[in-house]
Amino acid sequence: MNALTVHAPVLLVAVPLLGAFATPLIGKLGRGPRDLFVGLIVAVTAALAGLLAADFFASSGAPQLYVLGGKGLSLPLPSGMTVPIRIMFEVDGMSAFMTLITALVTLTGAYFSFSYWRERSGGSMYYSLLLLLTDGIFGMELTGDMFNFFVFLEITSIAACGLIGFRVWLKKSQEAGFKVMTLYTLSGLFVLLAVALLYGQHGGLNIAFLAGQIGTLGATIVDKVALGLLLTGLAMKAGAVPLHMWAPDAYGEAPAPMSAVLVANSQASLYALFRVLFTLFGVGVALSTNGWIIIVFAMLTIFVGVTMALVQSDIKRLIAFGAVSQIGYMLLGVGVGLVRRASLLAGGAALADKADALDYGFVAMQGGIFHMLNDAACIGLLFLTTGAVIRASGTRDLNKMGGLAHRMKWTTIFFVIGAFALAGVPPFNGFASKLLIYEASFKVSPFLSVIAILSSIMLLAVFVKAFQGAFLGPRTGLSDAGEAPLGMLIPMAVLALVVIAFGLFPGFFVDTIVTPAARALWFGRDAYIGAVLGGG
Amino acid sequence: MNVGSFPFIIAALLVVFGLYALLFKRNLIKMVIGISLVETGVNLFLVMVGYRSGGAAPIYTYANAGERMVLPTPQALTLTSIVIGLATTALLLSFAVFVHRHYGTLDVRKIKELRG
Amino acid sequence: MGGINTGFGVWNPIAWTLLFLGILIIGFLVRSRGQKNYKRGTDQTQSFLSGNAEPENPEALHVRGENLYWGMVHGLSAYYKRVRAWHTGILNDYVAWFVGALGLVFVILFWIG
Amino acid sequence: MNQDGMSIIVRTVTRFVYGLVLVFGFYVIMHGHLTPGGGFQGGAVVASAFALLLVAFGAAGVKGRLSKHLLQSLEEIGALAFLGLAFAGIGTAFFYNLLANSGSLFGASVALGPNAGFLNTGGLVPLMNWAVGLKVMTGIASIVIVMLVGARKEETE
């Protein structure tokens, strides 16, 4: 293990931060140097994420610690009790997996932006905010400290709303910016309240320390209040129905390449939710209750998201609602896993039932987590193609578009790939992850699978509507716009290749990266705590 | 000085008042004030978590030997939270300025182009 | 290679793709045995628009995005009226959803869980 | 508040108070590692002096003396300096305090027990306070300027 892999977790946060601060200065030199610099920073960040993940998935899978600002992680008190006081980053399978998703989305989003803003005013501020958002997302995924998590959460809120609203001349983007910022801040404040409650109860902020305390002492009323606040606040930030109202505004009004990064931001909140449910409150509370709350959120999200997408006439808002519905599948997979885990941990169950619970619960988790990666790639691809479409046609109204396929052949192909993959058409990757979720949730209740499958079919209908409206039809004046420039096509092609690769070789990716991530949540609680507190 | 649970009640009241403003006030600026009230309530709670009755300020250079101090960590957290609050409030107010420029009103019930 | 085990069964996209290609080839073989005696350039190759004449303006031929699934949306209008009404666009209501959901989660956590 | 600022009384008082506010702000930044305060608080105090100037003399009176571009550049430099100081100790760990107890600048070891406090302690912390102070004073000042200019544009349109 060399110095670079040891420092990789903190460099993932420090390098984008450096980029975010230096970009406005380098921007004064001109557009060329600035684009070069931002491209370099994003590439270095992605390489670091790849290095971290490769190193982690190749190793035994024990959580990696990085302590900020010191050699050791604990401070022995005069009474002999040691409390982990330093801020630390803790990387386990799930964190490493999430950094891969974020790196993929930001890399393609940033490189797409260089061409997207070629003729428009994409200032240095845009790239600065993009790097800041990336930084916050990485921080949320890597941190092992509750308060530090809140700080990164607020960094993502501010940067995301800056990105939504930085085009101050657009009426709707200002409205969206205000609404999203209010709701983000509110949810962030309730998360902070939960952190304060946990600190007051247990006297520590380290996630592993808190989890150990809750595990050994059992959850008190204060802990349960904190759980409720964290659950709702993070569900809001992830965009679960009925707390999703900001999500279509945010994804729809942000610049197209940034909508994909905003989805990655929602997924980071989802990651935090899973961390809270499996690690922080993995023992000591009624897991099946938590699981059913998540499942109810999931069913509402899947169904309302997809039905609302069907009636949109703004192409970006339509895809934004589609993105909301996909969050539901991830919640469903993990919720089913949680319910299954509860029956596994419950005493008195027959041995066969336990094996069954382990099997299907774990499969559901694999499905939900694999779907995060698939969703990031597919929805990223769809938002990028939408950006190319809007740029070519100059409108977002599906009723005014038509016939774009005549000139934009590659964009059309990429849109079809993304739409089929997200709607779960075999042999693309969305089918593989959704199949895992359907079959595992069928074991809990057939009703869940039925709704999930029906909504997936409706999602295909949604994309058929968008495809018919924008790409098909006779050649019109609007469709005379040319193909998107190469700088936009290459990021789309990269995402399309990722989609196809995940689709054709799901077994390989599930075995190498998804299973360690699912294991980290399912089995990894003791290891996560033990890495900080010792023993375990 | 023993303050009992009085500050906790104040903190809860501040959060409730802030939520009231967010739920029932129509003016965007008043909603920003509501957010600030919630934030102040949470910050007050955070400070109170580390408070010990009769404790001195946690500044080592000023304290007398053997005097007990309040816990400094929550105060550091609160300061961080205040800094973040400054940034969010500034951003929200800037959005309010631009919303007013585009819509000509600060009435939240008239700012609903994004719906359905 | 490349398959995943779902608990109930196995999903192997490579095998599926090969099967799909096989069926596609059989389809083309069946199609190639069809009749080829229609005459190009006559009414036989004109599109049939319910007996109406083809409009001159090509833009009128395009079914706009909004027109798709209007029947389905109409059939579900009772549902859609309600759900679209939830998305009021008013920030107060969004905060109310958040507070309501928070309350509900607390009720579930403390009374049921 | 009009374009030309406020009355002569306010202007005269501002001229008098401005320097005091600046000195107090820099004091708070400098003693951040010993007393309550630090980079953010001191920076906010200094920025309030800028805000005072803007209010008293109006946007027109300050125009040309406080350049928005200069402020923004200084803000980025402050942030980069902070990050650079954090990187300084990466041989051990990110944010490792390299200078503390080293005997060099700000490197005197801290006396045990209650004491009056010595400025020459703290290692990297005072330097970080200065970096944060620079960032905050310029950042808040540019926010104030942007908001003032933004509001003014609206009045004329």
C-beta atoms of A25 and D95 within 8 A: no
Option in D34, D117, D154 nearest B101 (CB): D154
The pLDDT assigned to A276 comes to 93
Which residues span the domain enclosing B73?
6-110
pLDDT band at D90 (very low <50, low <70, confident <90, very high): confident
- Between chain B and chain D, the number of residue pairs with CB atoms below 8 A apart is 32
Helix (H, G, I), strand (E, B), or coil: what is residue D37? coil
Q: Which tokens sit at B2?
A: 């023993």
**D105 is a domain residue:** yes
Q: Assess whether pLDDT exceeds 50 at residue D1.
A: no
User: Within 10 Å of residue C26's Cβ, how many Cβ atoms?
Assistant: 10
Helix (H, G, I), strand (E, B), or coil: what is residue A75? strand
C-beta atoms of A469 and C109 within 8 A: no
The answer for A 499-518 residues in CB contact with C (under 8 A) is 503-508, 510
Q: Where are the domains of chain A?
A: 286-504
Q: Assess whether pLDDT exceeds 60 at residue C44.
A: yes
Is the minimum CB–CB distance between B24 and chain D shorter than 8 Å?
no
**D92 is a domain residue:** yes
Residues pairing with A314 in the sheet: A397
The pLDDT assigned to C39 comes to 76
Q: Which tokens sit at A491?
A: 């990021």
Contact A18, D83 (CB under 8 A): yes
State which residues of chain A have pLDDT below 50.
536
C-beta atoms of A189 and B39 within 8 A: yes
pLDDT band at B1 (very low <50, low <70, confident <90, very high): low
Q: What are phi and psi of A478, to 5 degrees?
A: -65, -40
Is the minimum CB–CB distance between A176 and chain B shorter than 8 Å?
yes
Q: What are phi and psi of C49, to 5 degrees?
A: -110, 65
- For residue C73, count CB atoms less than 10 angstroms from its CB and return exposed for 0-12, middle for 13-18, buried for 19 or more: middle
Average pLDDT in the D7-36 region? 89
Q: Which H or E run contains A517?
A: helix A515-522
The C-alpha atoms of residue A430 and residue A500 are separated, in whole angstroms, by: 10
The C-alpha atoms of residue A183 and residue A177 are separated, in whole angstroms, by: 10
Report the mean per-residue pLDDT for chain D. 81
- What ipTM is given for this predicted complex? 0.91
More confident residue, D51 or C59: D51
Of A253, A259, A324, A310, which is closest to residue A466 (Cα–Cα)?
A: A310
User: Within 10 Å of residue C44's Cβ, how many Cβ atoms?
Assistant: 9
Of A375, A383, A381, A155, which is closest to residue A267 (Cα–Cα)?
A: A375
The pLDDT assigned to A127 comes to 92
Average pLDDT in the C64-86 region? 86
Which residues span the domain enclosing D66?
8-156
How many independent structural domains does chain D possess? 1
Contact B62, A141 (CB under 8 A): no
- How many angstroms from the chain centroid is the CA of residue B5? 19
C-beta atoms of A21 and D80 within 8 A: yes
Contacts of D8 (CB under 8 A, 6+ apart): none
Closest chain B CA to residue C83: B116
User: Within 10 Å of residue A72's Cβ, how many Cβ atoms?
Assistant: 10
Q: Which tokens sit at A148?
A: 């530090």
Chain B closest-CA separation from residue A58 CA (Å)? 37
**B10 is a domain residue:** yes
Of A411, A421, A328, A342, which is closest to residue A379 (Cα–Cα)?
A: A421
The pLDDT assigned to A536 comes to 40
Contact A73, A532 (CB under 8 A): yes
The pLDDT assigned to A63 comes to 85
Q: Which tokens sit at A429?
A: 């990757």
C-beta atoms of C84 and A232 within 8 A: no
The answer for A 77-136 residues in CB contact with C (under 8 A) is none
**D46 is a domain residue:** yes
**D3 is a domain residue:** no
Tens digits of residue pLDDT in D129-154: 999 999 999 988 888 887 776 655 54
CATH number of the domain at B53, please: 1.10.287.3510
Report the mean per-residue pLDDT for chain C. 84
Q: What are phi and psi of D2, to 5 degrees?
A: -100, 180
The pLDDT assigned to A79 comes to 63
The C-alpha atoms of residue A120 and residue A123 are separated, in whole angstroms, by: 9
**D14 is a domain residue:** yes
How many independent structural domains does chain B possess? 1
The pLDDT assigned to B64 comes to 67
**D151 is a domain residue:** yes
Mutate to test the interface with B, among C77, C95, C97 (most CBs of B within 10 A): C95
Task: Please state the pTM of the whole predicted model.
Answer: 0.93
Set of chain A residues whose Cβ sits within 8 Å of the Cβ of C112: 289
Is the minimum CB–CB distance between B92 and chain A shorter than 8 Å?
yes
The pLDDT assigned to B62 comes to 63
More confident residue, C50 or D24: D24
Option in B24, B26, B112 nearest C88 (CB): B112
Q: Which H or E run contains A468?
A: helix A446-470
User: Within 10 Å of residue D17's Cβ, how many Cβ atoms?
Assistant: 13
Going by their DSSP bridges, the two strands A74-76 and A64-67 should be labelled as unpaired
Assign residue C68 a region: left if phi > 0, alpha if psi is -120 to 50, beta otherwise? beta
Tens digits of residue pLDDT in D27-59: 999 988 888 788 899 999 999 998 888 888 877
Tens digits of residue pLDDT in B6-51: 889 999 999 999 999 999 999 999 999 999 999 999 999 998 888 8
Give the single-character DSSP code of C44.
Answer: G
**B63 is a domain residue:** yes
In percent, how much of chain C has pLDDT > 70?
A: 96
Closest chain B CA to residue C96: B23
